[in-house]
Amino acid sequence: MTKPFLFLLALTFIGALTAHAQHNPAGTKPMPGMAGMAGMHMNHGMAAPGTPVAAFQHGMDSVMVVMDEGMRRMTGANPNDIDASFAAMMLPHHQGAVDMARLQLLYGKDPALRRLAQSIIAEQQVEIQQMAAWLKQHPVASQSSGK
Count up the domains in the chain and report the number. 1
Domain presence at residue 34: no
pLDDT digits (tens, 9 = 90+) for 111-147: 999 999 999 999 999 999 999 999 899 876 555 544 4
Average pLDDT over residues 49-63: 91
When pLDDT is averaged across residues 23-37 and rounded to a whole number, the result is: 38
Q: What is the mean pLDDT of residues 49-55?
A: 90
With respect to residue 19, please indicate whether it lies within any of the assigned structural domains: no
126 lies in a domain? yes
Report, in angstroms and rounded to the nearest whole number, the Rg of the chain calculated over CA atoms: 17
Residue 28 binned pLDDT confidence (cut-offs 50, 70, 90): very low
Q: What is the pTM of this model?
A: 0.64
d(CA 133, CA 144): 18
Output the pLDDT for position 143: 54
User: Cβ neighbours of residue 114 under 8 Å, at least 6 residues apart?
Assistant: 104, 105, 108
Range of the domain at 124: 55-71+80-138
- Indicate the Cα dihedral angle 111, 113, 115, 116, nearest 10°: 170
Contacts of residue 132, defined as CB under 8 A and 6 or more positions apart, other chains included, come to 87, 91
Contact 13, 34 (CB under 8 A): yes
59 belongs to a structural domain:
yes
Q: How does pLDDT run across 71-114, given as a tens digit for each residue? A: 888 776 777 889 988 998 999 999 999 999 999 999 999 999 99
Contacts of 47 (CB under 8 A, 6+ apart): 53, 54, 57
Residue 40 forms part of a structural domain: no
Position 60 pLDDT exceeds 60: yes
Q: What is the spatial distance between Cα 114 and Cα 75, in angstroms, rounded to a whole number?
A: 31
